[in-house]
Amino acid sequence: MKVRDVMTCDVEAIRMDASLVGAAKLMRRENIGFLPVLDEYDSLVGVVTDRDLVVRGISEGRNVYMTRVSEVMTPTAVWCYADDVLTAAAEMMEVNHIRRLLVLDGRKRLVGLLSLDDLAAKMSSDRLLGTVVRNLSVAAC
């Protein structure tokens, strides 16, 4: 099975020049705590989480209207291709201790997101899914 068969396709993203308030409002509206960050050419340049907004933005006293997402985002994003085998993507999540994996197409454009929920809902190998979840849970402690 391929990542494209399981991934969530409708992924909200934000531009790197958006304000922290803009990111927070988008997260609130969509009830999410994670956004891929894109540059002006729609290339993936990082990710920003609700925690990034608080820890790297608000707690440092930054002006939430003037500070740009690019100033608080995590500039490295772990990703896979939509055509990758699902088990390889699950192992990548395990190795990197992440619960969400961005999915790119052959032109390296964001096309989806693979989450633990996606794996749980669709993955045929309960054993592999159990291993991934257990190892991510242990890493979080």
Q: For the segment 111-121, what is each residue's pLDDT rounded down to a tens digit? A: 999 999 888 87
Token reading at 104: 């790119």
Domain of residue 124, residue span: 3-140
CATH number of the domain encompassing residue 13: 3.10.580.10
Number of domains in the chain: 1
In the numeric block, the tokens 């990082």 are attached to 46
Average pLDDT, integer, range 36-57: 96
Q: For the segment 24-41, what is each residue's pLDDT rounded down to a tens digit? A: 999 999 999 999 999 999
pLDDT-derived band at 122, boundaries 50, 70, 90: confident
Average pLDDT, integer, range 65-86: 96
- List beta partners, residue 37: 14, 46
Is the pTM here over 0.85, yes or no? no
Average pLDDT, integer, range 61-73: 97
Give me the chain's average pLDDT, please. 90
Amino acid (1-letter code) at residue 83: D
What angle (nearest 5°) sits at the alpha carbon of residue 115, between those of residues 136 and 111? 140
